[in-house]
Copies of this chain bind each other. A is one copy, B any other.
Amino acid sequence: MTARRLSGKPVADEIRAKTAHMVENLNRDGFKAKVAVLLATKNEATAWYVRSIERAAAQQGVECQVLQMPEAGQDQLVAAITALNEDKSVHGIILQTPLPEGVDTAALVQLIDPAKDIDGANPLSLGRLSVGQPAFAPATARSVVEILEHYRIPIAGQHVAVVGRSAVVGKPLAQLLLQRDATVSICHSRTAQLADFTRPAAITVMAVGRANLLTSQEVADSSVVIDVGTNVDEAGQLVGDVHAASVQPKVRALSPVPGGVGTVTTALLIWHTVQAAAKVCESIMWRGEPMTTCR
């Protein structure tokens, strides 16, 4: 026996289809969705990632404006975010990390208008999510839920072990799962016996960033395992937090790395942008104003 492969491709395809449908509606109303990416690093891996966002936007007829600001200081970044908040033609803002040294990231993300915070970077978004108010979750956290829901894996009433407590994955994911009535155990590097949580769990999500941490020892036959890790091993290969060779033959289902969660995140960023745009569009129509007021 081998685990069912929870590929990200059909999940992303489904999101792209929803997005396309909504873009069509928006265009019919003379409305164009737009995402802005603040890029303040010359890091090549980051530039590659931002190009993948640009490509995804272009494919869906969504505008993508990349603001190249390498070595920008705090004041310039504050000004840039403030301008994007005020720019009615921009519906989504991504403040791409890493930021230049010496920049106060916490102060910057808190400036992002929650209505445009399509990657859930502002702690207000996380707080709103936690108390059940409308907010965008970080795309990676949200991708995990999209995969589970696409493959009809029950969440309500299930025990989910979330391994990792980062602000971008573990913590917002725990909130998304609680919203869906899961019982959530949040584990991390200080958890004494990981297996005490992952073995009884119906679903285990690995999001710690340690290559091959989860082995067949820590999972049950009935486990569904979602791998959020993206690590580069000694051979230069992209590997997850799950030791796939040992886990795959044992468990019920496993999302691969690459080809799993990572495949979904970019599609979600564009989907969030289009959702944010639709909300603006709705409120303009509600007020009976012409669409041109938003440009």
Contact = CB atoms under 8 A, between A and B. Distances in A.
A7 interface: no
Contact of A183 (B123, B124, B174, B197): B197
A101 to B, nearest CB: 20
Interface string A110-134: 1000000000001111111011110
Given A185-B183, A187-B183, A122 B133 contact: no
Given A124-B123, A159-B196, A130 B187 contact: no
A157 interface: yes
Interface of A: 106, 110, 122-128, 130-133, 156-159, 165, 167, 171, 174-175, 178, 181, 183-188, 190-192, 196-197, 200
Contacts of A178: 165, 171, 186, 188
Most buried by B among A124, A167, A197: A124
B192 A157 contact: yes
A32 to B, nearest CB: 30
Given A133-B106, A185-B183, A156 B190 contact: yes
